[in-house]
Every structure is written in C-alpha cells, then in structure tokens.
A and B are shown apart, each in its own frame.
Chain A
Amino acid sequence: MTTNDDSETDPDEAESDDGEMNETEPDDGLSHPTRDKKHVRALTDGDYADMWVFCETQGGELLEVSKEMLGKARELMDGFEDDYGDEEDVVAFLMGDDCEGLAEECIAYGADVAVYHDDERLERFLHKPYTEIAAHIARGEGTVESTDWREYDKPRYILFPATNNGRDLSAKVQAELDSGLASDCSDLFIEENEVSNPVKTGEPGVKKTVEKVLHMKRPDFSGFEYSTILCLDNPDRDFHPQGASVIPGSFEPLEPDYDREGLVVEHEMDLPDDWFRVEISDYDRLEAGIDLTGHDVIVCLGRGIADDPTAGMELGLDLVDAFEDAELGITRGIVTSSYQFEGHVEAYSKEERQIGETGQVVAPDIYIAAGVSGAVQHKVGMDESDTVVAINTDTDARIRDFSDYFIEGDLFEVLPRLTTAVEAGETSLEAEAVADGGEDDD
C-alpha cells in the first residue's frame, strides 16, 4: 500500500492530506472531510525499530524511574536479539537546559544511543515544546547530521515514566505519533500474539499471529484486575511506536557502567515562541507530604468502612492515637470510591495515604488491615510488615493469605475494642466483659 506522508504538517496542509485520504477511501456518505482525519498522520507498511525511552530529569539529574526504564529496555532488547536474531537499540531521549552530560549518563545506564535537545527554555517541563520536540525526534526529522544514525520511520516501542509530567507527555506524544498507549504499567514483555479481533485482522472469523508485540500489564479497575494492553496495527493503518508509561519502582536500574560506549546525538530544531505561551513563574519544593514509611504501627482502612465512611475513619484514627508511633493508611479502593467523608476526616482519604503498588510501600512492625480485601496490588505495599493483623467479616478475603492474625469480625465493633484495650494496657479482654458490653457510642 502507499505510504502516506507522515511529516508533521501545518493545519492548511492537514486539510490537503484530508483530500488525499478521501481519494483512497470508499464514499461513506460524508460529503466533506471529517474532523477526525485532520488528526491522523497515518503510515501503512512503515519501517519501525528500536525501543525508545524518554528520560525525565529534575533539577539537572535523571529521575530514578528514567534509570529503571533504561534497565528494563536493555533487558527487553537483549531478549529481542536472542528471540528474533535482530539487533535493535535502546534509544534514550531527553531535553532540558545543559543536558548533554545526562545523555552520556543514559549510555552508562543501558542506552545504545542518546538523543538530546538542549535549550535553556526547556529547564522545566512544558507540554507544547516537549511534545513537539519528542515527536520530531521520534520521526527522525532534523538535520542530516542528527538523524543519519537511523533508517526507520518511527520507533517500534516507546516508554515514558508515569510521573505527572511523563504521563502527560506520553499521552500527547503518542497522539501526535498516531499510536496507542498503555498508562501506568507495572510489567512489560515482548511476545507474539494471536489476534482474532476483526478490527485488527481485517476480517471476522480469522486469526492472525502478530510478532514482536509489546505486552503491557497494568493494574486496572481500581486494583481489582490486571489488564494486558496491546497496541496493534489495523490492516490499513499502522500503530507504532507501541507505547507505555511505567510506574516508578516497577523495575531495577542497571549498575551504571561509565566505560560503556554509545552514540550521543544532539537534536536540532527551531522552537517558535508560540510554543511557550504557558509560563512557569515560580516553583518550590513541596512541603513533605505524608510519609507512611518508618512507623512502628500502620493502621490501614479499606472498603469495609463503606457503611459509614466517616465513622470508620474516626475509629481508625482513634486506634492510631492509642499507639506511640503509628500512622493511618488507606487502600486504593477508598481513594477511588465515591464515599462522602465529613470535613474533619476528609484529609485522611487523600491519595497520598494510599498503600499499595501505586501508593506507598510500608514495612512496620505491626500492620493492622481493617476492612481490607487484600488485592495483590495492595499486598505489594505491606507484605514486608513483621506482623499483619487483618480484621474482616469475610473469612475468604484474600488478605487472610498474607496475615498472621485474622480477626473475624466487623471493624466497627473490633476497632473500638482494640483501642480501649491498648489504652488500658490490657493483654486480654475478659469474656465476661464482652458479654456485658454492647456497642459503645464513641
């Protein structure tokens, strides 16, 4: 099939491209170009290679997650060569003010090639210039000197960090490159895939095997499930690079090897003033947020508080106060819930207190999980605790499998009794007292 021009075009030229595409499309009754086509910069039967990694920086240093992604990319592309016999590269790309040294550092952490764009206006992330530069580099545009190391149309794969800025950039760059994206991935592997989706195969009832597919695993549905996302070509429209953003901490960086040799390339491109309409007038280090690590005791609340979220939060906080060195954490289920918390406890329902794969990882002496179901992505965040006490009405709850003690009961009843006992210095509650006790109003 004909390869369409994939160069970035200005709006007027995009309109012309619409005309070209209309000539090759069957008439579907629409008499004029549709809005969507001006956004499509499609290729068919293009040439793709290499795994690219956007290396985010902060304060003149590579972020830790940038090094982690380079390590994973190195591992994947070494495996790629073993599996397919083709040697393809890990390509780091980055931009900033005075960032050539960081490009060298990317080589040490596993990249074969590092492409950088240096401009003082890029010291801090800005959506428009970062997107335009990244897409320009990925398409191999620029001077002959800065692009003669490669011969393909676009990268085969591309990774971004799932930080606030990296996630935004991944969304925009993949849109610009006319490809797809899986966000917040915690695992990646390259494998063939047997496809039966007719949109991808071109005809119903047929299965096709697609090689060299990046499988992108991510927690989904608030941590209840893992999804594997694939970015696959349609029959008449390629979707490359196959893209992912990666949760920080998912992978291990390589030990840096500063003797490692690679190609460092400076990218050249004019940056119009119009790209800098958003201005950053000031910035400050954020006051330290909630740090749940390093406490002796963590009390964690989960969806079991649903019947009365405010009361549940209050009971959890009361138990925290009964300990010398304790803090309150929550599960992702609470962060993404529609629960209405009253003002005095609402601050404790924020994402910063979340424990789990996409939150904090804690390892206290005592971990008390109240009303926590035990999703595996939560387990990642608390599994190193010395002693785990779970409180749940459901004896089949998954949390039981990684608890030392499982208290079968309603947290609304159990928590206040634990609090009372700890405050009183008791190491047992008399059965007699239990018989006499009813629900106490706190």
Chain B
Amino acid sequence: MRSIVLTKGVPDFSEGAVSFDEDGHLERGKTPTVMNPNDEFALQAALQTKIRHGGHVTGMSMGPPGYADVLQDAMASVYTDDSYLLSDRELAASDTWATAITLSAGLEKYDEEVADVDIVFAGFKTADGETGQTGPQTCWALDWPIVTHVIALDIDPDERILRAKRLVEGDVDEVETVEAPLPCFVVTDPEFEPTYRTASHRLTHKELRAKTEERAAEHDDHLTTWDHTDLNLDPDYIGLDGSPTIVSSVDPIPKASSDREATMIDPEDGMGDVLEEIQPYAAEAGE
C-alpha cells in the first residue's frame, strides 16, 4: 500500500506566537510556521492505513524551503517514510487553481517515477486561506475518484476498494457510507477518528514510532525537493501568473460599534455585580 499525504505550513495563530502590525494585518514574516492543524487528520488516516495494511507513506508539501520543517514534523509525529517538497520562486502567490496544478504535477511525477500511488490523503481547510478547495481541485487535475469529509475509513486490499463514512451537511446533517476504487483521493474531516483495533496494531504503532524517531533526526537524507522544471510546469500557468483570483484587499476586522457599555470589574473587589446576574442560573445543590 503506497500513500501520499499532502500537508502545508500555515502561520501559527496561537496567542503569543501570532504577530499583527499596528494596522491589524498579520505579519507573516514574524509569525512562526506550523503544520496546518487539519492536515494532522490526514496524516492520522495514512498512519492508520499503514498500521493495518503495511506499506509506505510519503509526506508532500508545496511552499518555501522552510516547509521542510513541517514535513519533518510529519515524519516525527506520524511516521512518514520520506518527504517531497515542491518549491521554488515561480510557485509563489499561487491561488488554489495554481496550487492544485502544481500538486497534481508532483503526484503524477511520483506515480510515474517513484511508485504507483494507491491513496492520496489531504486535510480539509487550511488555517490561513481556509478555502477547502485545494483537495478537490488537485483531485480534479488527476481525474481520480475522491471521497471528502471522511470520518472513518478502511481499505480492502484484495478488492482494491476504499470504504469510508463521510459527513454531509445540509439542513439535516447525514453520514454516508461510500465505496471507491483505488487509486483514490481522500480528504479527511476534522471529525476523523483513527482506530487501532487489535493488540498487534498497537504493537506495530510502537515499533513504527521507534524507527521513525531515528529517521526524523536525519530528515534531510529523506527529503527530495522538486522545482517547476523538475515538474515540467510552465511558469505562465503556475504561481501568480496562473492564478485566476487575487486578494483585492485585506481588512482588519472592523472594530464593532460599541452597543454595550461594559461595567469594569476588578476581581479583587469581589465581583458582586456579576455574581448577582449569574446566581439565578445556578444548578441545585447536590446535582
């Protein structure tokens, strides 16, 4: 079983890490990069598949050279076997269409030159652009079957079928049971829960962890970087040149007009006003 997990770096929005300038704009250069939180679910799905069925898991990312750290984190935390980074200046400022074209080129090159791919895993929205488009658009470029918003999955290697449960939101939320032929593309939902059912699965998990700590420490030896010529991409169709959309303006969230006048409370003064307001809602003693 050969899997690839797509992941990317995003600004770290944790308090104390995120940096805004005086105008309220994100200072990307001063904010550290971390793995997109939703991609962790995709990595968990790939790891679950590896533990149950064996095989090889590759991490793939597109972005500046610093994203190699994100791929190293992926190796250390969920035991990818190797990493591929699609990186050069021509790729900068890609919107999702241009990103999808680039990622699909990377996946095609891998499939042709490295090994046949069985499953590509991707996370849902990124924490910065939050479009949720890149997975489906990358899959469109590959013309593979896709299952999105996956919350549970397993593979039947003999029949070469993926079985998954997926979330459908509408006026009523539903769960569908879906079957897709391999190779296919999986986008995990933030509700995805990996399961390791048997003692042997948990033992495999432990063994993988030991091997991978060693490998992650020497990540550079397991990293391959491809640029646009390696991927056979025309600069006119990638990066900013290839992007249909532009960001016309980025506005700090407008300061909402004050429609309430806050009473300032110093906790040292006993908070009597607040307690009088909330006390009527207290649970009965002893519940």
Chain A residues packing against B (C-beta within 8 Å): 25, 28, 30, 32, 34-37, 39-40, 56, 58-59, 61, 63-64, 124-125, 127-128, 131, 163-165, 167-168, 170-172, 174-176, 178-184, 193, 197, 199-200, 215, 218-232, 234, 239, 277-286, 289, 296-297, 303-304, 306, 321-326, 333, 335-339, 350-352, 365-366, 368, 374-377, 379, 387-390, 395, 398, 400-409, 413-414, 417-418, 421-423, 425-431, 434
Q: Are B256 and A389 in contact (CB under 8 A)?
A: no
Given contacts A222-B13, A304-B15, A379-B256, 8 further A-B contacts (CB under 8 A): A182-B245, A183-B131, A239-B244, A324-B281, A324-B282, A338-B35, A376-B255, A425-B279
Instruction: List chain A residues, Cβ under 8 A from B276.
Output: 427
Can you list 22 contacts pairing A with B, beta carbon distance less than 8 Å?
A30-B232, A35-B233, A37-B237, A163-B169, A168-B136, A182-B245, A183-B130, A199-B246, A221-B130, A222-B127, A283-B174, A303-B13, A321-B283, A389-B278, A401-B256, A401-B257, A402-B259, A402-B260, A405-B273, A408-B266, A426-B279, A428-B275
The answer to whether B263 has its CB under 8 Å from any CB of chain A is yes
Instruction: List chain B residues, Cβ under 8 A from A167.
Output: 132-133, 136
Chain A interface mostly helix, strand, loop or mixed? mixed
With CB as the reference atom, state the residue of chain B lying closest to A417.
B267
Q: Are A197 and B246 in contact (CB under 8 A)?
A: yes
With CB as the reference atom, state the residue of chain A lying closest to B40.
A338
The answer to whether B101 has its CB under 8 Å from any CB of chain A is yes
With CB as the reference atom, state the residue of chain B lying closest to A281.
B177
Q: Are A337 and B174 in contact (CB under 8 A)?
A: no
| Selected contact of A401 from candidates B35, B129, B178, B255, CB within 8 Å | B255
| Selected contact of A224 from candidates B20, B146, B190, B238, CB within 8 Å | B20
Given A222-B130, A429-B271 in contact, is the A176-B265 Cβ separation under 8 Å?
A: no
Pick out which of these stretches binds chain A: B44-52, B137-145, B211-219. B137-145
Instruction: List chain A residues, Cβ under 8 A from B238.
Output: 36
Q: Are A227 and B177 in contact (CB under 8 A)?
A: no
Q: Are B270 and A127 in contact (CB under 8 A)?
A: no
Given A337-B14, A375-B253, A421-B271 in contact, is the A230-B174 Cβ separation under 8 Å?
A: no
Q: Are A36 and B242 in contact (CB under 8 A)?
A: yes
With CB as the reference atom, state the residue of chain B lying closest to A183.
B131
| Selected contact of A230 from candidates B26, B96, B248, B279, CB within 8 Å | B248
